[in-house]
Structure 1
Amino acid sequence: MHRTIRAAVCSVAVAGLAFGLSSCSEAVDQVDKAVDETYEVTYEVTGKNVDSIEFHGGGGKATEPKIESVSKPELPWTKTVKLRGIMPAAVMPVAADPEGAQVACKITYKGKVLEEQSAKGLVTAGGCTAESPVTG
């Protein structure tokens, strides 16, 4: 009697393990697909006397994006970039003006605003960071 119960329990455990591994494999496949998928965003920066703009331009690793920079940009400034997988979209305008700096940034994806910020002050860094739409 105990052997029959033990054999049944072992069979159920093996079946559960096989099912769990196939589910895990499917989850890994979905993560791999998301990491390899690309998406485009458009950065927009407006304001007054912006000294520089730093942004994720698509280089580097998804978890360690390469930061690109533009000095003394002509405003309004826009740039469309292709990012990969879980890489967040990010743009950081920096302005310093004794009379009061002004900056605003916006990140759009397929016409939808993902993030929008603005700031004023003597020294202003008004950054926008948005989660990858691939993850959501």
Structure 2
Amino acid sequence: MKRSTRTALRAVTAACLVAVLAFALAACSDEAVEQVDKAVDETYEVTYEATGRSVDSIQFHGGGGDALNPKIETVGGPTLPWRKTVTLCGIMPAAVLPVAADPAGAGITCRITHKGKVLAEENGKGLVTSGGCVAESPVGG
């Protein structure tokens, strides 16, 4: 067999192996998260807050779904300041996103607190670039 053919076969084999490993790892990580979620069935409460001059809607993890696919709830045309306490489970992250036509110009701030401790806070341009406030589960850490 020619050297160039062997090299091509090695490259194809390596690419296939990488693809299979990536797929297997993705499947394992989904299963691992599900197992951790089942093992860590402890719940925790967080309070979401949004302040500012004008917000069109607020999206947040409301506690449904699972860690990999949390249910996102939406409140349209909320009155500011807005506040909501939710119960989350296991390693599900807390997340809140106030949505406005110009979040930086509307003076929006979002905050996530747990037992009086601020887990995440963003405002103005930081809010835009970070995609709202997202906090790791205090149960998972």
TM-score (norm 1): 0.69
The match for 1:69 is: 74
CA distance in 2, matches of 1:84, 1:62: 8
Matched letter for residue 75 of structure 1: L
Q: 1:106 aligns with which of 96, 100, 111?
A: 111
CA distance in 2, matches of 1:40, 1:33: 18
Matched letter for residue 127 of structure 1: G
Counting aligned pairs with the same residue, the percent is: 69
The match for 1:47 is: 52
Greater strand share, 1 or 2?
1
Matched, 1:57 2:57: no
Greater helix share, 1 or 2?
2
Alignment length, in residue pairs?
104
The match for 1:88 is: 93
CA distance in 1, matches of 2:47, 2:138: 13
1:95 Cα deviation from its structure 2 partner: 1.1
Report the secondary structure of 2:60's partner residue: strand
1:33 Cα deviation from its structure 2 partner: 3.5
Task: Flag the structure with larger Rg.
Answer: 1
CA distance in 1, matches of 2:117, 2:70: 23
1:94 Cα deviation from its structure 2 partner: 1.0
Moved over 3 A (4+): 30-33
TM-score (norm 2): 0.67
Structure 1 spans left out of the alignment, 5+ residues? 1-29
Q: 1:118 aligns with which of 117, 123, 129?
A: 123
Structure 2 spans left out of the alignment, 5+ residues? 1-34
> How large is the RMSD of aligned CA atoms in angstroms?
2.4
